[in-house]
Structures are given as C-alpha cells and as structure tokens.
Structure 1
Amino acid sequence: MNSDHFTRRQLSVALAAGLGTAIAGCASDDDADETENGDDSDENGTDGGSGEEPDVEDEGPGSLTVQLENEDGDPVSEAVEITVDLEDDPLSYTYRQGIEDGEVTISLEDEGEYTVIAESTEDEFEPVEEDVSVGEEDEKITLVLEGATADGDRAEDEDE
C-alpha cells in the first residue's frame, strides 16, 4: 500500500530544513556587500559617505529619573511605590523594586505629559504627585516625602 502522505519524521525534517534555510537567509555577513576589490569602498577608494556620522534613528523619548527623599534630604528607597501615568493612556506603570539610594530610572516608550505619584506602602506619608513633560532628553524630578523613613534610619530600626 503506497501512500502520498508524509510521515512525522519526513514532515519534521522538511520543516527543520525550511526553517534552517530561512534563518540562514536572514543572517548576513558583512562580507556580503563587499565589492570586487574586497572592501566596502567605491571606485575612488572612499566609502561613499560624506565623512559625517551616519544618522541614527531616534530611539524614542529620554528616560525619567525619579529621586525620592524625606524632608531632611535623605534618600528613601523602601516602603514606597511609584506610579507613572502617561496622559490620555489607560496604562500605568508601578515600581516597588529597583529603587536604590532613593532613585529609580524609568525607560519610557512615549514622549508626553506624565504624572508621577509616590505612595507609602506602610502609611508613613501622604501621596506626592508631580507632573513632568518628557521629550527626547532625559528628565529628572525629586519628590519630597514628608514623614518617610530614610534608608539609614530604616536599617537602624531593623538592627534594634
């Protein structure tokens, strides 16, 4: 009995070969674009550029650094939650970890007006809110959390 159907093994081998070929076609060597003289230069021995740096596509907005401190200027890293909201966007981003020495740097996906809210997870201070406009440049804001326990004071309290 002769069948025109593929066995599982034949199908697997065919798929693997096809995917391998597709992946190999996507990977490129720097040598692939070389000219006959063995380098990337044109007939005159130049690379064809204007001598200036190539234009790099904009990677998006700058980052936002939020610095948290208490009323004495001491850093606050624990028992705090930071929420970042983009105006007219239903999504918000919340940070509870990654705050070191009272500072967290947030990579943003869009330029625009953001609202940054710092709240205590242990009811030590009232929520603090600040609006910030983020464009192509990095932005840094400082939020003063009145009544928050400083990093050094929190470590002393844990030791006792």
Structure 2
Amino acid sequence: MNATYGIQLRHPLPYDLVGTRLTLAAVGTAFEAAYGWRLLHGDRVVDQGFFQAGSMGLMEAFVHEESISFESTGPAMLQFFGDDPSGEHPPGQDLVEVPVILIPGMQGYRVHQVVAGDTLSKIATDYGSQWQHIAAANRIPNPDLIHVGQILKVPIPVGG
C-alpha cells in the first residue's frame, strides 16, 4: 500500500470514514513538493485536489486538511499521489490507494454499543443520524441484523 520512497500515507487508514473534511497525513517527497488526491466512488471522481507540502526532494512529514463536498454514500477509493508534470503517469507518481467510506455531510462520529431493543433506525434517531449512514459506516450488509454488544460508528452530521 505505501511506497518505500516517495509517499507513505499514515491517514486515512483503510475503511476510515470521510465526511465534510479530508485529512491526509503522510511522509513523502514529490516534484516541487506538489501532491494530488482524488476520491473515487466506483469509476466516478466525487472530489479531488492538489496542494504543496514540504520541500522538493526532502522526505518530510506533513498533514493537509481540506473541506470537501460530495453526495455519494458508501465504499470509495482515496488515491493519493505525487504530482507528475509530464502527465506520463496519471493520476501521478507514487500512487497510494486506500479504501474509505464516504458519508456526506458528516462532521465526525460517535461510538455506540448495541443493547437489546436497538435497531439502526432507533440508533439513528437517538443520535440525529441516518440509518443508511450507520449501515454504510459499519459495512453492514443487512440493516435488519445487528447484535447486542456490537460496536458501531454512528456518523454525526454537521450541526448535530
């Protein structure tokens, strides 16, 4: 997943939730210290951007944060890469890919342990969330099947 030289992505980790902000933490170097990222939902790019960090040719740790917006919910792929001004290696050099979960409008999440009588709808109502977002965040294939003791990430919308 991570290149030995070029980019070592530290955040997000596989299946982290991505909402209204994207935080990228890495150690890396790139041409003119320029990096690019994009979020893919299937074959569709739902958001993307470029930024500069560190110094050209010097391996440095950095954190970059961006406000993002998208409508898609569910599994996605984050691509993170060094800029390739030649255009010969799209989307860029030292490509790192990590699977993430997209939850539109999410500012963060709370952790909930399922108790007797809980349903995704009840939990969503209790936290001001949506059951579809809870199912996506936890990769639950059958929303009617949760178990007592199960730990769930409950996405919380902005202002929630």
- Structure whose residues are more often helix by fraction: 1
User: Could you say which TM-score interval applies, normalised by the shorter chain?
Assistant: 0.3 to 0.5
- Structure whose residues are more often strand by fraction: 2
TM superposition score normalised by structure 2: 0.35
TM superposition score normalised by structure 1: 0.35
Bigger radius of gyration, 1 or 2?
1
